[in-house]
Structure 1
Amino acid sequence: MSAIDEDGIVYFGNENGLLEFDGTHWQLYKTPSFTPITFLKIVEDKIYTFGKNKFGYFQRDKSGYMSYHSLNERMPDNKEIPYISNVVQFEGDTYFSTDSSLIKWDGEVLNRLNMGANLTMYEFEDKVLLSFAGDNGGLAFLKNDTASLINSDFKFSNDYAWEFLRQNDSNWLIFTSENGIYNFNPDTYETSEFQGEINNFYKKDSTFLYSAERVSDSLFITSSWDDGLQLFNANGDIIKRLDDKSGILWKYNTHSTLDNRGNLWLSTGFGVQYLEFYNPDKKSNFKPEAKVRFIKAGDSSLFVRDSSHILSVSVDKSNSLDFYFSVPGLFTKDLKFSYYLEDFEEDWSDWTTNSRKEYTNLPGGTYTFHLRAKHVTQENIDIKPFSFKLKIPKAWYEYPISYVAVGALLALLIFGLVRYRTHRLSITNKKLEQLVNERTSEIESQKEQLRAANEELKTINNELDNFVYRSSHDLVAPLKSLRGLITIAGMTDNVDEIREYFRLMNISINKLEEFIRSIMDFSTNTKKPLEMKEISMDTILDSIVEDLKFYENAEKVELIRAYDSDFIIKTDAKRLNIVLSNLVTNALKYHDFKQDDAPYIKVTAKKKDNNYILEVEDNGSGIPKEHQRKIFDMFYRAHEGIEGSGLGLYIVMDTLNVLKGKIDLKSKTRVGTTFRIVLPLID
């Protein structure tokens, strides 16, 4: 996402913080813990940002440096902050819109205003317009921190105003996510469907609006979630479509921002592009100004706030000063600069395309740096000049009192040398004593670490002994049973008895195969590196169903797929198959087929808050409450009378730890069980 300030400086949210571009220089202002920024908006002198549950704003301090101020700790209810979708300044306060509430900030305290339904918020003239989703939704104005309904007809069960833009003095446009575009009368507050090709485009199934921007009185641009950008005119005619085949970096989720010159910045997950609408006859109202953005002094950056800013440089850093300048809103490749350091230089420099000037060994004093610029091809662009004062203090040796101080220092130095020689032996002895104490402490610490490591090794050995013992038993038991059945089968000629023995042999083989598969899954999860790729939920479940079709009673259970048929998940497909296969298999194996209700297994999948949410639900026998805290332990079996390795849910938990996922369950005996899995969303 991007935003542009009144000077023409462009700001982008990226994975590490706030990225600034003034036409010449890129500057990254990092967020705490390098958290990404997914939303930003400029309001007065603040840039409000949100990303990964981090909520705050950037603001320049007195020195001109951009600093970050967190608002997370000001939330009164300490709840997780939902996605911030807009920021509006209204009647002296700042309002932030979230999924179903507004957050109000008076500059000191944050308050959450619960609005009762999912909503969006937009500026409309001197008012705040709210759009609510749901059967009781509609359009409303914000009055005294409550919603005052103005239009009850504009409502959808799962949609609302996605963008709100002025078309002209007599009409505004409301863009929904999937229900098309609507006219909004600013006098009567009535809405009507906007006619045209662009409206039909966004009413198609599986076509969703991502963003919209007003380019001019007769030109708008929209971007869809997965079908590129569309330029359309006031009549709704699509005059140009852009996607990854026609020049833009990415056809998905492209955000557009109009700059002060009437051109567009396109930001995506793959980078930034600039879209220029060339019109030689159009006179821009934008008045650019040449500016010194910052000065490099040694390893420090000194930021120039404005022309009234007097910048002070320490003497030790004045040996080399690099001035970096630009004209925000214009690109350096189109500019030439001329500069003049008053009280150091006699006249302006020659015009140059270089946006950097270095000065070395400036003596102490006060200077005024003057900067001017001109456009290479368009001389009619009026670029305002810029100047500011630079103060460098005098070096200490330039003052008369310094000579007196030097003499006193020499006398003190001689006296100090004598004291130093007599005191040196004492200091050396103390250092030696301290070194002995440190080495002794270090040895004790190493002994303690070795003792702890030994205890951990004993624990691991005990667990390994237990694993080998239990594994040997679970491998040998089915083999002994199989050998016995083979012997008995050889002692009879009765076909029905032989068939029964074959059925029992098959059960023993299934037990053995299931246990070996569990061990292989455990080994795969332990050693195999992660392989992240996209895979459909149907593909995973089809594989699981194929493996289970010969299970006893498999044909009696209905598998319900409660997700979109094209639902895609990006993760390690092998490990996700291990997790879901164990959960679905358990739901089948431990089902109580004596219950009256028709047996089912329901698999749900969705995306929410940067996570995949997967659920496996059944109406089986359920898990008794006293067993629920132990079912993820190795070799633990919660169901008596039903054979199992006791490894399945342990492997599920171990696999999810590798995927950085979580699992919890809700279960009630004779009602059923629901396992809920949370996996991080991967870009």
Structure 2
Amino acid sequence: MSISKLLLFLRSVKAWRIFLLIIFFELPTFYALSFQNADSVNAGSQDSIVIFDFNGSNYQASSFNYVANEDEDGIMYFGNENGLLEFDGTHWQLYRTPDYTPISFLKIIGDKIYTFGSNEFGFFQRNQIGNMIYHPLNDQSIGEIDIPYVWKIIEHNGDVFFNSDSSLFKWDGEILKKIQTDNKYLTIYKVEDDLLVSIYGEEGGLARLENDTFNLINEDFIFEDDYAWEILQKEDKEWLLFTSESGIFKLDPETYETELWDNEINQYFLQDSTYLYYVEKFQDSLFLASTWQNGIVLFNDDGDIIKKLDKKSGLFSNYYTDPIEDRRGNIWLTSGFGLQYLQFYDPEKKNSFKPEAKVRYIKISDSSVFIKGSNHIISLPEKKSNSIDFYFSVPSFLKENLQFSYYLEGFDEGWSEWTNNTRKEYTNLSGGDYTFHLKARNIQNLDLDIQPFEFKINVPTKWYESYITYILLVLIVGLLIYGFIKYRTHRLSFANKKLEKIVKERTSELRSQKERLKEANEELKTINNELDNFVYRSSHDLVAPLKSLRGLISVAGMSHNPEEIKEYFKLMNISITKLEEFIKSIMDFSTNTKKPLEMKLVKMDDILDSIVEDLKYYQNAEKVELIRAYDSDFKIRTDPKRINIVLSNLVTNALKYHDFKQDDPQYIKVSAKKENNSYVIEVEDNGSGIPDEYQSKIFEMFFRAHQGTEGSGLGLYIVVDTLNVLKGKISFTSKTRIGTTFKVELPEVD
């Protein structure tokens, strides 16, 4: 049997036979792949090609895939041994036929996905609510028909043709009809407005399908063991006809005459050991071809070979049947060992389409609702609206390269931070209309314009939450109050009304005095508690260094070793430093409490120079770089003493809690600017950060987030107290082992 006959045989045999043949020919590859991680990226790819690998553990289906297709939204569909496999770049979804048959071939035509597998024709289509439904076509046929293996599906003039080895089946939307032919092998192609048929064997040739009849148009295009495997058009509008082992021919679409296309790629396929299996257009001016046991090859319109890819390049196998190009100009490969995605990296290349962020589906309890588009309005049943999960993606882009931000209008206060998560859950939504907004960005190319997405959700309102219920309750209460007032007015005399007025006035006055007294009492208790805590902690923090100093002096007095005495002096200096810092904190607190505001125009550089001078002998101060991110003449109108207290505490904390064990250079960055009639000052460091469990307490008196570091615990408490006097505010963000940024906002004053 010639290689062409063998390839034709593979096109016509059933799925399980193809699987056994590929396992036989690719057994070494199978063993090699058993050690490869799922979802991996071959970092060593050459010529800016990154290969993404997917297998059954990624998409929870068989690793054996036959063919791939892409719809107009960029969603990929694969013919899988277990059914129809869908991939939007983020989520995988498997759709099964009613008989759980494999999908050995598929073709997307309009909103239908036509499929074939295990002698069964059919198509998948989403219904009005977005769910994928399978429609079998076998029962629409005229009489009993034996369906061989189908390996090509073409739409022509509104009809869909299913191409098998020796038969054509035509579906006109209502009836499935078999077009009879006595030839052993044939294949159909669209050339301009014609449907051409290449017939295999010595009695074959090129024919045109007219009124379900084959009319020969070129009887000279005859090969004993070969025929046309594909007919494609070049960028210059010239047509090419590809055979498996007889070469590539130019085809005249008017006379249907053929002429050998003599160039490098033709010589390559005319070799004894190289046989073409499949070819399609690639990136407008190139062609993508698969070979029998020689991987895939790329060549241009002039027939020059651009690139060859095989197992040595990182592919699963050297045998591929139907590689396809997606709309980004990348390649999907299907095989018995999973799927591979070949991404060609070109930072200068622009997309020919505008990608769109999409909500693919939502989950309510155990039910999934697929979203058809931005005009899709979802009305949820009341019993299932307590928990809603949104699943989203940007088709044509893998989730590893994307970030998302979302906003549920009517619930969220604003857009979320950018995140890699492709799922968002909302719980306990009250009744009403909501609009879910979604936007995305490519982290490798922030200039990529991704179209945002939004659609409406209607959550049912409980009967007691409706406006009608509220109006009725208000009316009932109003009527009751009105009746009560009329009744009291009728029964009481003028004198009683006057007395009631006096009593009400006295009662109101007493109640007001009682409330004020209660508030004052609560405030006094708070002040007393803070004062008790302050006195206790202050006495402890003042006495502890003194006791330590006294002990060191006593020990130093008993030592005659100069080196030991020198070490004791260092320890004494540390105790004195602690004492000085605590006394400074108390003085700052006192200054902020008693000293009146003195608003002046001060330079940021003068403030920082004073702080740097105070900290230049601080331990490890020389290891940290102070970055000034503002104009050198930047000035702030504020109280100089109080702004010095605020920034001194923030800079000192940034220095004190730096992680000096990290490899990156340590820095403290101070930035300042005017924004919306306010001064905004930020102090950023790349220190150890504040643990999440302590972030809600760091502004409390005597609280220390880092227990292993010495400090009074008053610094940030004094900062907040001082900013209250300055009518300012402070916020922060922090991540452990990454760093902390404090943001101070002060009002602009005249």
The one of 362, 365, 370 equivalent to 1:295 is 362
CA distance, structure 2, for counterparts of residue 402 and residue 116 of structure 1: 77
Structure with higher RCO (Cα < 8 A, 6+ apart): 2
**Superposed CA offset, 1:251-291 (max 9, x none):** 12343111111111111111111112222222221211111
Aligned partners of 1:195 and 1:235 also within 8 Å: no
- Structure 1 position 388, deviation (Å): 1.0
Q: 1:54 to 1:397 in 2, by over 3 A?
A: farther
The one-letter code matched in structure 1 to 2:224 is S
Residue among 106, 110, 114 paired with 2:172 = 106
Write out aligned runs for 1:47-446 (5 A): 47-117=113-183, 118-205=185-272, 207-396=274-463, 398=465
Q: After superposing the two structures, state which structure 1 stretch, 306-315 or 285-294, moved more.
A: 306-315
Instruction: Note the C-alpha offset of 1:115.
Output: 2.9
Distance 1:159 1:32, change over 3 A: farther
TM-superposed CA distance for 1:228, in Å, is 1.3
8 Å contact from structure 1 (residues 255, 268) kept in 2: no
TM-score between both structures, scaled by the size of structure 2: 0.52
Q: Distance in 2 between matches of 1:67 and 1:129?
A: 33
Which residues of 2 match residues 475-554 of structure 1 at below 5 A?
A: none
Identity %: 57
RMSD value, Cα: 2.1
The 2-side partners of 1:147 and 1:48 are apart by 24
Shift of 1:47: 0.7
Q: Point out the more displaced range, 360-369 or 246-255.
A: 246-255
Distance 1:290 1:125 in 2: 35
Against the structure 1 CA distance between its residues 388 and 399, is the aligned structure 2 distance closer, same or farther, given a 3 Å change threshold?
Answer: closer
Question: Partner amino acid for 2:319?
Answer: Y
Q: CA deviation at 1:160?
A: 1.7
Quote the Cα distance in structure 1 between the aligned partners of 2:423 and 2:391. Answer: 5
The answer (yes or no) to whether the contact 1:15–1:34 under 8 Å persists in 2 is: no
- Counterparts of 1:253 and 1:329, CA distance in 2: 22
Give 1:217 shift. 4.1
Counting matched residue pairs gives: 403
The match for 1:627 is none
Deviation at 1:358, TM superposition (A): 0.8
Q: CA deviation at 1:129?
A: 1.9
Shift of 1:400: 9.9
1:401, distance to aligned residue in structure 2 (A)? 10
Question: Using the alignment, how far apart are the partners of 1:218 and 1:388 within structure 2?
Answer: 39
Which deviates more, 150-159 or 260-269? 150-159
* Counterpart AA for 2:402: L
**Helix, strand or coil for the counterpart of 1:262?**
coil
In the other structure, the counterpart of 1:453 is none
1:10 counterpart letter in structure 2 = M
Q: TM-score, normalised by structure 1?
A: 0.56
| CA distances 1:492-531 after superposition (whole Å, capped 9, x unpaired) | xxxxxxxxxxxxxxxxxxxxxxxxxxxxxxxxxxxxxxxx
Q: Decide whether the 8 Å contact of 2:320 with 2:333 is kept in 1.
A: no
User: Deviation at 1:9?
Assistant: 0.6
- Structure 2 unaligned runs (5+)? 1-66, 471-750
- What is the SS of the residue equivalent to 1:63? coil
- Rounded to whole Å, the distance in 1 between the matches of 2:93 and 2:284 is 33
User: Counterpart of 1:179 in 2: which secondary structure?
Assistant: coil
Give a deviation string over 1:27-84, Cα, whole Å, max 9, x none.
1111233211111111111111111212111111111111111112222232221122
Shift of 1:198: 2.6
Aligned equivalents of 1:124, 1:318: Cα separation in 2? 53
The worse-fitting range, judged by mean Cα deviation, of 42-51 and 125-134 is 125-134
Residue identity matched to 2:147: I
Q: 1:280 to 1:400 in 2, by over 3 A?
A: closer
Q: Partner of 2:99: helix, strand, or coil?
A: helix
Whole-Å separation in 2 of the counterparts to 1:123 and 1:257? 18
1:28 alignment partner in structure 2: 94
Aligned-residue offset at 1:322? 0.8
Instruction: Provide the rounded CA distance (Å) in 2 between the counterparts of 1:126 and 1:365.
Output: 53
Take 1:396 and 1:225, find their aligned partners in 2: how far apart are those partners? 68
Task: Give the Cα separation in 2 of the matches to 1:277 and 1:377.
Answer: 14
In structure 2, what residue type is equivalent to 1:386? F
Q: Secondary structure at the match of 2:268?
A: helix
Counterpart-to-counterpart distance in 1, 2:209 and 2:92: 39
Post-superposition offset of 1:246: 2.1
Which residue does 1:10 correspond to in 2? 76
Gap regions ≥5 residues in structure 1: 404-683
Q: Tell me by how many angstroms 1:397 deviates.
A: 5.1
Determine the C-alpha separation between the residues in 1 that align with 2:467 and 2:430: 17
The one-letter amino acid paired with 1:84 is V
**Secondary structure of 1:245's aligned partner:** helix
Give 2:448's aligned amino acid.
I
Counterpart Cα distance in 2 of 1:92 and 1:85: 20
| Greater Cα shift, 154-163 or 54-63 | 154-163
